[in-house]
Chains A and B, each alone.
Chain A
Amino acid sequence: MITPLPESELMHREIGGSRLAVIEDAGHVSNLEQPGKLQSRANQIPARA
């Protein structure tokens, strides 16, 4: 339940064109633990929508 990386990799493979970002040293509530890392990774996503 806590670090579902294999699950995320599977979702990433299944969702065509998706991106996968992995934050290290974080647990289930990563946005509380590592807000800076999460935001900098999110900012790298191009606005192609």
Chain B
Amino acid sequence: MSKIQVRGIEIGYDEVGSGTPVVLLHGFPFNRTMWDEQFEALRGRHRVIAPDLRGHGETTATNDPVTMEEMAKDVAALSEKINISRAAVCGLSMGGYVALALYRMFPLRARALVLAILARVPTQRKLRKNREAQAGKALKEGMAGYRRRHVAKTVGAKDSGEESRCCCPGARDDREDKPEGAAAACAGWPNAGTRLHFSSRIVCPTLVFSVAKT
């Protein structure tokens, strides 16, 4: 794990390999360790970078609502500092909204986009209410317990072995995970709904990943 100072915060990130850079942006309420399997799969062919987004994992938590744009600016600043001008940017769920925000603000930084599991954004009011509830749970239960319940609720595999494996990633750095960081991300979340008015303007190679239960 490396740490670097950008925009007044410290970002924790993993970096390995060489070749075309790939930046992996984790979902909520996880951290960079959710990409462990992909990290291993890509390292032979790419320079792979997986940061903890602001308020998550080992990256500094700030108190104000943290928007997707704020996290995207952090990622752009990190890229700049470690001499990555363009990268394939892959984001899952919240990380996908961050990837979109990054593209919206700094389109030349994205060589390609992978948008994985971007859920439908409900109305602003519903979203705000939902996120307030999530923030409350994270603060009350701590990140390990909150994450376990979150995974149990959202997992799709019927195989219980897969299910139990799912609970492990993200827990590795649990001591470093900060419920207040998750709460700040929840508070900034309601701005994520702008993406649908924007996706028709994406011109870089893009892969949309989704899931289906059979």
Q: Chain A residues in contact with chain B, CB under 8 A?
A: 1-12, 14-35, 38-39, 41-42, 45, 47-49
Q: Chain B residues in contact with chain A, CB under 8 A?
A: 20, 27, 30, 34-35, 37-38, 41, 88, 92-93, 111-112, 114-120, 151, 154-158, 162-163, 165-166, 169, 196, 199-200, 202-214
- B120 A28 Cβ-Cβ under 8 A: no
- B205 A27 Cβ-Cβ under 8 A: no
CB within 8 Å: A-B pair count: 161
- A45 B207 Cβ-Cβ under 8 A: yes
Q: A2-B156, A15-B199 are in contact. Are A30 and B169 (CB under 8 A)?
A: no
Q: A42-B114, A49-B112 are in contact. Are A23 and B119 (CB under 8 A)?
A: no
Which residues of B have CB within 8 Å of A33?
Answer: 155-157, 162-163, 166
Choose from B34, B158, B203 the contact partner of A32 (Cβ within 8 Å).
B34
- A27 B34 Cβ-Cβ under 8 A: no
Choose from B169, B203, B210 the contact partner of A23 (Cβ within 8 Å).
B210
Q: A14-B200, A19-B208, A24-B211 are in contact. Are A31 and B38 (CB under 8 A)?
A: yes
CB distance from B28 to the nearest CB of A (A): 10
- Interchain CA distance A20-B212 in the complex, whole Å: 12
CB distance from A33 to the nearest CB of B (A): 5
- A27 B111 Cβ-Cβ under 8 A: no
Which residues of A have CB within 8 Å of B211?
Answer: 3, 5, 22-24, 26-28, 30
Which of B20, B37, B155, B208 gathers most chain A CB within 10 Å?
A: B208
Q: A22-B212, A33-B166, A34-B157 are in contact. Are A16 and B203 (CB under 8 A)?
A: yes
Which residues of B have CB within 8 Å of A26?
Answer: 156-157, 211-213
The chain B residue sitting closest to A46, CB to CB, is: B205
Which residues of B have CB within 8 Å of A3?
Answer: 156, 210-213
- Interchain CA distance A34-B161 in the complex, whole Å: 11
Which residues of A have CB within 8 Å of B196?
Answer: 10-11, 14
- B157 A25 Cβ-Cβ under 8 A: yes
